[in-house]
Amino acid sequence: MISGDVHATIVLGIPDSLLLKIASKMLEETYTEVDELPQDAAKEILNVMCGNICAKLSQRDLIVNLAPPKIASRTHATSLPDGYAVITSLIAVGGRFALGIFQHESA
């Protein structure tokens, strides 16, 4: 979640199989279940993406704050604030994942 002069919610949708591949590469260990460490890898990926977004916004003299990423499962009903959305599909070695940026008035 980004707050300050800009309010946005960033969502990363990644299949378990791809997350396990990415986490295994990042952490140099083989993972077969999406447990705490692969979830931490997903949060780190999102944190890097959000950090880059915040850096670009700061270059435009906007004050922004970045909250730590949270994990929500696909079965968990996640409500998003009303506002503008950009959703894109990204390709990584081993699969595709989705990135959604939802800009809204406030949290």
> Distance between CA 14 and CA 17 in Å, rounded?
8
| Phi, psi (rounded to 5 degrees) for 31 | -120, 140
The overall pTM is greater than 0.85: no
12 strand-pairing partners? 99
The mean pLDDT of 40-54, rounded to a whole number, is 91
pLDDT in tens, 70-95: 877 665 556 666 777 788 888 877 88
C-beta separation of 37 from 23 below 8 A: yes
Provide the 8-state DSSP code for 26: H
